[in-house]
Amino acid sequence: MRAVYELAKKKGSELMTLEDIYVKVKPVRRVHILGIFKGAFITVENPIENEEEVRKILTTLENQEYIELTEARKKDGEVFVVNLLNKGYNFPREEKDRVKFLKLWAVRIVAGAVASFIIGAILKSCFSC
C-alpha cells in the first residue's frame, strides 16, 4: 500500500502499470541468525517476487476499500487507474498509529518486567530476614 500511496498521493488518482508499483516497492533487510556461520548475516530481498503478486495485492487493497481499481489495456500492456479512497488517504496515519501501538506495547512489557523484578527483590529481602 505504501508504494501505491506514494504514486497516487498528489492527485488522488494515478495511471500506473504493474511495473511501476513493482519498482517502487522497497527491498526488505532480513537478519539471519544462522547466517553468521555461513557469512551471509544480512540479506536484502524484495518482498514481492513477481508482478502477478502485485496484481493480487491490488485486488486485496480494492476489496479492503483502500483503493478503487480500474483496468485498461494498451499496446504496451495493462494499465491501472488507481483512485485513493478515504481509507487510502488515511494510510499514513494508520501506519503511524500501528507503530505507536507497538512501541507502547514494548514499553509496557519492559515496565512490567522491571516492576516484577523489583517486587520480587523486595519480597525476597523481606522473607529472608
Q: Which amino acid is at 82?
A: V
Tens of pLDDT along the chain (129 residues)?
A: 888 888 888 888 888 888 888 777 776 666 666 555 555 555 556 667 777 888 888 888 899 998 898 888 878 778 888 899 988 889 889 989 989 999 999 999 999 999 999 999 999 998 886
pLDDT at position 11, please?
86
Domain C-terminal end among 84, 100, 116: 84
Same domain, 76 and 128: no
Q: 122: phi > 0 → left, psi -120 to 50 → alpha, else beta; which?
A: alpha
pTM flag (> 0.85): no
Give the dihedral of Cα atoms 50, 19, 5, 28; nearest 10 deg. 40
User: Residue 17 contacts by C-beta under 8 Å, 6 or more apart in sequence?
Assistant: 76, 77, 78, 79, 80
Looking at the fold, whether 42 and 4 belong to one and the same domain comes out as yes
Cα separation, 12 vs 66, in Å, equals 12
Do 74 and 102 fall into the same domain? Answer: no
* DSSP class of 67: E
Residues 24 and 56 occupy one common structural domain: yes
Domains identified in the chain, total number:
2
pLDDT at 121: 94
Q: Tell whether 97 and 42 lie within a shared domain.
A: no
- Residues 73 and 103 reside in one and the same domain: no
Does an H or E element contain 24, and which?
helix 18-24
What residue numbers bound the domain in which 95 lies?
Answer: 90-129
Tell me, yes or no, whether 105 and 52 share the same domain: no
> Does one domain contain both 45 and 9?
yes
